[in-house]
A = this chain, B = another copy of it.
């Protein structure tokens, strides 16, 4: 009997040990790959003690591993360095300190920085740099030319922040865009969504980006909708820095913001299709068909019926299988569930039409 007790103890012990959640454990964020593409979860905007952040650069790599991110960029401010008295300016140093740790974990780490000017013109990130130093100039256009000379991908951050002319597309932005120096915009920064930025990306062919802009330590653990970083899903040809850069220049992105996905139908449609799986039908009665709809992604799909088949509202929670009872006339016939996915936005606040096919008998 004593032995028995010991067995139970060791079993319980494991649960306790697991509860301590070892530093090296990573929980993957779940979004399916698209046909011929690898889905990379990316955060291209964050800070360390080398500008106004509160953590050592390597902490950002540890967070990326733990949270299931595939690529991050450290983007300390060039012009704003409130810790300068204690941490002397050294633009390329955050990347240098974090690089080995990223390689050890297979985290893609393009070198980045934040170009930090009063508004207008505002703040911009440049990533995939060889060195930040040449960007530390007075003239904005020189800075952008230096970034582009390094083949960097650049985007306009949180355009609605701050100052009197915040939120406006001005002459300077037109010039940056027309001269091919600016390639994307943050549609989402942290907990804020920018509908105008969303529309401008559609109108001007800019790549949609979503980032955390995190300054504090990240206490998150779960990859669930409830509490995740705002990130960019990038559909790359392979898991590599060159492929990641190519995909950004090609605009192959979707932004994951709270429980909303924002992007072009071109990417959202196959992402939805690859995420939802029909199980069953389990039973066909005279009047009903019972089916399971499995959502393998980390976003809840919030669906509003467009046709007349299926429940009026339907939420497919992340990582679960939902039982659906469908009123039918012919239980043996194939069915098409036609819905609007209200939280997949193909334009500001505009949901996307989706269909789910239920096989017949």
A-side interface residues toward B, CB under 8 Å? 3-4, 6-28, 49-50, 53-56, 58-59, 62, 65, 83, 86-88, 90, 93, 97, 103-106, 191-195, 216-221, 225-227, 257-260, 279-280, 282-283, 290, 292, 294, 300, 302, 304, 315, 317-325, 340, 342-343, 345, 349, 351
Contact = CB atoms under 8 A, between A and B. Distances in A.
B19 A226 contact: yes
Contacts of A26: 292, 320-323
In order of increasing CB-CB distance, the 9 nearest A-B pairs are A217-B217, A11-B258, A14-B258, A106-B282, A14-B259, A12-B16, A16-B16, A24-B323, A7-B349
A358 B361 CA distance: 46
Contact of A322 (B24, B257, B315, B345): B24
**Taking chain A's interface residues, is the majority helix, strand, or loop, or is none over half, making it mixed?**
mixed
A25 B227 contact: no
A104 B282 contact: yes
A225 B15 contact: yes
A99 to B, nearest CB: 11
A322 B54 contact: no
Contacts of A90: 86
Nearest to A54: B56
A317 B14 CA distance: 10
Nearest to A10: B343
A104 B195 contact: no
Contact of A105 (B17, B104, B323, B342): B323
7 contacts: A9-B9, A14-B257, A17-B227, A18-B191, A18-B225, A19-B227, A87-B87
